[in-house]
Amino acid sequence: MTLTDADVSRIVEMAWEDRTPFESIEMQFGLNESGVIALMRSHMKASSFRMWRKRMAGRVTKHRALRSPEVQRHRASHTRQA
């Protein structure tokens, strides 16, 4: 799958968001968690990538199966509808 610059920008944005699970990124763009990690590594400075990985480590809201039912989904007006 070829991603446009806009797709890459949106994936990076979604990856930084606390409430957006990796499963949503996979559903919209076909990239699983390891694919998102690879994309982030290749499109960020090394220090920014390390900061992101540290932030995501143990963040249960990034995995739909681990998150609390109280965590509601937020959909920005510019996202694609599934």
Q: Residue 56: its pLDDT value, please?
A: 86
Q: Residue 77: its pLDDT value, please?
A: 61
Model confidence pTM above 0.85: no
Instruction: Tell me whether residue 42 is exposed, middle or buried, using C-beta atoms within 10 angstroms of its C-beta: 0 to 12, 13 to 18, 19 or more.
Output: exposed
pLDDT in tens, 13-64: 999 988 888 899 999 999 999 999 999 999 999 999 999 999 888 776 666 6
